[in-house]
C-alpha cells in the first residue's frame, strides 16, 4: 500500500476535504489553547468542583498532546513512521482520558461504571501499525459520539438511552475530536470508511446544533411576543381607576358658546 506523506489541496475528494478539516481543527485548538495559563487549577475540597478541575487538567494534557503532534502532522516526511504513529496514538489516548473526565463531571453515573462506548483506550504500546491507530481512532470517534449525546441530554434535555440528569454546574468545554489518522492512502477503502464514519458523526452533531438553535430562537420569539402583549396590557391598565376598578370617565367636552358682535358671530 502506498503511503502518502502529504495530501495535495488540488485533489478535491471527500477524503481530502475531511483530512484538511481535521488539520484545521488541530490548528485552531493549538492556536486558541496555547494561550491558556500554564499553571494547572488548584485542588478543591468540593467534590463537584474537583471534578471540574480534573476535567480542565485532562483537557490541558490532551491539548499538549495536540501541540506535540502538530509538527509531525505538518511534516510527516521529516520523521519516521514509528515516531508519527507514536505521537498520534498518544494523542488518542489523552483524548480518551479527557472524554472520561468530562463525562465524570456532567454524568454522575459514569463515576461508578462507564458504558462500553466510553471506555478509555489502553496506554500506547509499541510497535504501532496503521491498523492499530485506525482501530484506536474508530474507538475515539465512538467516544465522541457517545459523549456528545450525553452532553446534549445533560445540557438541553435531549432524549437519551441513558438516564442522564440535567447538568447545572459550571460551563465545561469538551475535548475537540481528534484529527484523522496519519500516513494514509486516500484510496484505501479502510481509510475511506473512517472518513465516512467521521462525516456521519459530524453531520449528526451539526443537525443537533441546528435543531437546538431553532428551539432557542422559538423560545426567544415567544418571550418577545409575551413581552409585547404585557406592554399592551400595561398601557390598558393606565385607563383603569385603581380605587374603583372601573375605567376613567371620558373627558368632558366643553360646549362652545357663540356671541354676536359687530354683525357677526364670535366665540364668547
Q: 122-125: list long-range contacts, CB under 8 Å, 24+ apart.
A: 122/93, 123/93, 124/86, 124/89, 124/90, 124/93
What beta strand segments (E) does the chain contain?
258-261, 264-267
Whether the predicted pLDDT of 155 surpasses 50: yes
Task: Count CB atoms within 10 A of the CB of residue 143.
Answer: 27
Residues constituting the chain = 268
Rank 1-15, 21-35, 232-246 by mean pLDDT and report only the highest.
232-246
Q: How confident is the model at residue 265 (pLDDT cuts 50, 70, 90)?
A: confident
The whole-number pLDDT of residue 24 equals 41
The whole-number pLDDT of residue 3 equals 29
Q: How confident is the model at residue 25 (pLDDT cuts 50, 70, 90)?
A: very low
Q: Distance between the two ends of the chain, CA-based, in angstroms?
A: 111
- 200 CA to centre of own chain: 16
Q: What are the φ and ψ backbone dihedral angles of 67, each rounded to 5 degrees?
A: -60, -40
* Domain residue spans of the chain: 14-218
The whole-number pLDDT of residue 96 equals 98
Q: What are the φ and ψ backbone dihedral angles of 153, each rounded to 5 degrees?
A: -70, -40
Model-level pTM? 0.70
Give the separation between CA 92 and CA 178, rounded to whole angstroms: 7
Per-residue pLDDT tens digits for 115-154: 899 999 999 888 999 999 999 999 999 999 999 999 999 9
Per-residue pLDDT tens digits for 160-216: 989 999 999 998 999 999 999 999 998 999 999 999 999 999 999 999 999 999 988
CA-to-CA separations, 31 to 66, 67, 196, in angstroms, rounded: 11, 9, 27
What mean pLDDT comes out for the span 228-256? 68
Q: Which of 217, 97, 207, 221 is CA-nearest to residue 152?
A: 207
Task: Count CB atoms within 10 A of the CB of residue 105.
Answer: 26
Q: Which of 74, 210, 70 is CA-nearest to residue 152?
A: 210
Output the average pLDDT for the chain. Answer: 81
Amino acid at each position: 500500500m502506498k503511503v502518502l506523506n502529504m495530501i495535495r489541496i488540488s485533489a478535491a475528494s471527500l477524503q481530502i476535504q475531511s483530512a484538511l478539516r481535521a488539520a484545521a481543527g488541530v490548528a485552531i485548538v493549538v492556536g486558541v489553547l496555547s494561550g491558556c495559563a500554564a499553571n494547572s487549577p488548584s485542588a478543591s475540597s468540593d467534590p463537584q468542583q474537583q471534578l471540574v478541575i480534573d476535567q480542565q487538567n485532562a483537557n490541558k494534557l490532551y491539548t499538549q498532546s495536540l501541540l506535540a503532534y502538530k509538527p509531525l502532522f505538518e511534516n510527516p516526511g521529516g520523521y519516521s513512521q514509528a515516531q508519527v504513529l507514536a505521537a498520534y496514538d498518544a494523542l488518542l489516548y489523552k483524548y480518551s482520558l479527557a472524554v472520561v473526565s468530562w463525562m465524570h463531571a456532567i454524568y454522575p453515573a459514569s463515576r461508578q461504571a462507564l458504558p462500553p462506548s466510553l471506555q478509555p483506550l489502553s496506554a500506547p504500546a509499541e510497535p504501532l501499525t496503521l491498523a492499530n491507530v485506525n482501530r484506536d481512532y474508530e474507538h475515539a470517534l465512538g467516544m465522541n459520539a457517545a459523549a456528545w449525546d450525553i452532553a446534549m441530554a445533560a445540557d438541553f434535555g435531549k432524549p437519551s438511552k441513558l438516564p442522564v440528569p440535567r447538568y447545572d454546574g459550571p460551563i465545561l468545554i469538551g475535548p475537540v475530536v481528534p484529527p484523522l489518522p496519519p500516513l494514509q492512502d486516500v484510496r484505501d477503502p479502510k481509510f475511506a470508511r473512517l472518513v465516512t464514519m467521521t462525516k456521519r458523526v459530524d453531520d449528526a452533531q451539526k443537525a443537533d446544533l441546528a435543531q437546538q438553535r431553532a428551539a432557542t430562537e422559538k423560545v426567544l420569539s415567544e418571550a418577545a411576543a409575551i413581552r409585547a402583549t404585557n406592554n399592551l396590557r400595561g398601557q390598558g391598565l393606565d385607563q383603569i381607576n385603581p380605587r374603583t376598578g372601573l375605567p376613567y370617565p371620558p373627558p368632558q367636552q366643553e360646549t362652545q358658546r357663540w356671541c354676536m358682535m359687530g354683525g357677526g358671530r364670535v366665540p364668547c
